[in-house]
Amino acid sequence: MERRQFLIGASTILTTAYVAKAEWFLEKEKTVVPLIKNTTHKPVIYVVKNDFDYELRLNDPDIDFPEELTYRQALEEYHGIWYPEDEPLTLSDYKELYYEHGISPRDIDKPADWEFYLDSWARKYSSNARAYHLLEPLDLFDYDDKNGRFIGGLQFIDGCHPGNDYLGVRSGDALSASLLQARLVELNQNIAVRLVEAG
């Protein structure tokens, strides 16, 4: 886990006056400072309040689930193994399916158990993982001027602990949603940030 904070006073938008405005919007309107107009044609980062912190999700404020796949589709999408539908399986295919992946060859076109691909899907396509992939490469915290004070922040999490495959971005406070929006505007990123309650 890597926690990074926003620096106030070292950029054009993230100033003490902006923080005061963000606190007002948070208290009175329960929203992020509206720096970007609503539209359906841009990415939206939803900062979703749950029981103990805030999780960032891309383009969907609700917890999402993978679409149902067959074992054949899941093998191709998440393991890079392609078995053409129009060709019969060879003996070595049968062995690989069963011994490497635990799949009976007669089940290859049946719906796969979620456990077979859920972890891979969660790290690649879940709304929280997509938020991570979108934000992680941006210079959100690389300020030219290091003078100022640090507040708020985001936690970039790649596995909470050994054996855990969670990939996402979280925050301990609602103010960071407005700070993130301001920093995205400074970086000319046309990404909207919305603060929502978990559904």
pLDDT tens track for 37-49: 777 768 999 999 9
Read off the pTM: 0.86
Vertex 141: Cα angle to 187 and 19 (nearest 5): 80
Burial 40-57 (b: 16+ CB within 10 A, else e): eeeebbbbbbeeeebbbb
121 contacts 140 by C-beta, under 8 angstroms: no
Range scoring the smallest mean pLDDT among 23-37, 66-80, 137-151, 181-195: 137-151
* Residues 33, 22: Cα–Cα separation, whole Å: 6
Per-residue pLDDT tens digits for 12-37:
899 999 999 999 999 999 999 998 87
- pLDDT value of position 89: 82
Q: Would you give the distance in Å from CA 178 to the centre of its chain?
A: 17
